[in-house]
Amino acid sequence: MAPEKKKSIYQPTSPAVEQAARLLLCLGKNKGNDYGLTSICKEIGIHKSKGYSILNALSQYDLITKDSRTKTYSLGPALMPLARKAKEKFDITAIAKDHLQNLADETRTSVLLGIICNDQFYIAGKYDGNDMISVTVRQYQSLHITHGSHGKAIFAFLDKKEQQKIFDTNQLFFHGDRDNFDKDKLAQELKFCRKNGYAIDNGEITPGITAVSSPVFDHNNKVIAGIVLVGTFTKDKFETLGKKIAATSRIISRQAGAQF
């Protein structure tokens, strides 16, 4: 019998492409004013000359724009059709749209749909059911996969290998700041979520803001997204809202092909 070949651990990459991708992600996560060259290069850890070359290349394709007055950079208009095309791939957004708007209207809260990608939870849809109160989370913003109630709802239905991979990163924001993480408390919350179909955040992430979340599954019964119902509702509303969001997530999951 021929000896088994070892799999190569070599993964060819292009440093310039990787740096350009990190630069775009950096600009995409910026919540304040547009970044200048120095800030961008410091954020992603590259030399200013390299950053300047990448910015010039991206600007030729309108992937980034430069404000000549402030000398700052922001994402460019060429990304808009790319974002729309990427969003079209996730049919879950089309399936969920009406259901989530109805949920927002019925509960008088804000409802978020997040798509899971690696260790991030990308907000693919935001639906407001209360004209007086709206959450500050923006569409296309990303949150960490373990962040608050959606983190618990997602983590509860991952396999043991995926859970351990997340644990090994030590980036655990289930209870807000990493220093507040309580493994025993999480175990109880995961057990509750698997039984009832939803997880809660009672102001641990942001004081005064409460949230209830439920997972969404695809045709392979794999969790691929999450729904977050967020507002200023009190603890006594958790069960009622939890049942509503769990029922909505089951409907969306079934329409996406899930079998349960």
Q: Tens of pLDDT along 226-238? A: 999 999 999 999 9
Angstrom distance (rounded) from CA 169 to CA 153: 19
Residue 198 scores a pLDDT above 60: yes
Decide which of 207 and 199 is more confident: 199
Q: Where are the domains of the chain?
A: 15-78, 90-255
Q: Enter the tokens of residue 116.
A: 């899971």
Q: With 60 as the cut, is the pLDDT of residue 89 above it?
A: no
Q: Are 101 and 127 in contact (CB under 8 A)?
A: yes
Predicted confidence at residue 3, as pLDDT, reads 46
**Hey, which residues does 223 pair with through a beta bridge?**
217
pLDDT tens track for 161-172: 999 999 999 999
**Closest by alpha carbon to 145, among 130, 131, 129, 158?**
158
Give me the chain's average pLDDT, please: 88
Q: Is the pTM of this model over 0.75?
A: no
**Topology of the domain covering 15-78:** Arc Repressor Mutant, subunit A (1.10.10)
Per-residue 3-state assignment (H helix, E strand, C coil) for 133-167: CCCCCCCCCEEECCCHHHHHHHHCCCCHHHHHHHH
pLDDT mean over 53-58: 94
Q: Summarize pLDDT for 96-105 with one digit per residue, the tens.
A: 999 999 999 9
On whether the CB atoms of residues 134 and 128 are closer than 8 A, the answer is yes
Please give the Cα distance from 114 to 141 (Å, whole number).
9
Buried b (16+ CB within 10 A) or exposed e, 18-35: ebbebbbebbeebeeebb
- The one-letter code for the residue type at 135 is V
Q: What percent of the chain has pLDDT over 70?
A: 89
Residue with the bigger pLDDT between 212 and 83: it is: 212
The 10 Å Cβ neighbour count of residue 46 is 18
Q: Kindly give, in sequence order, each residue whose CB lies less than 8 Å from that of residue 114, ignoring residues fewer than 6 positions away.
A: 121, 122, 123, 124, 143, 150, 225, 226, 227, 228
Q: What is the DSSP string of 51-110?
A: HHHHHHHHHHTTSEEEETTTTEEEE-TTHHHHHHHHHHH-HHHHHHHHHHHHHHHHHTSE
130 or 1: whose pLDDT is higher? 130
DSSP 8-state class, residue 237: G
Q: Is it true that domain 90-255 has CATH number 3.40.50.620?
A: no
Between CA 189 and CA 197, with CA 195 as vertex, the angle to 5 degrees is 85
Contact call for residues 230 and 251 (beta carbons, < 8 A): no
Reported as type and span, the H/E element at residue 193 is helix 183-196
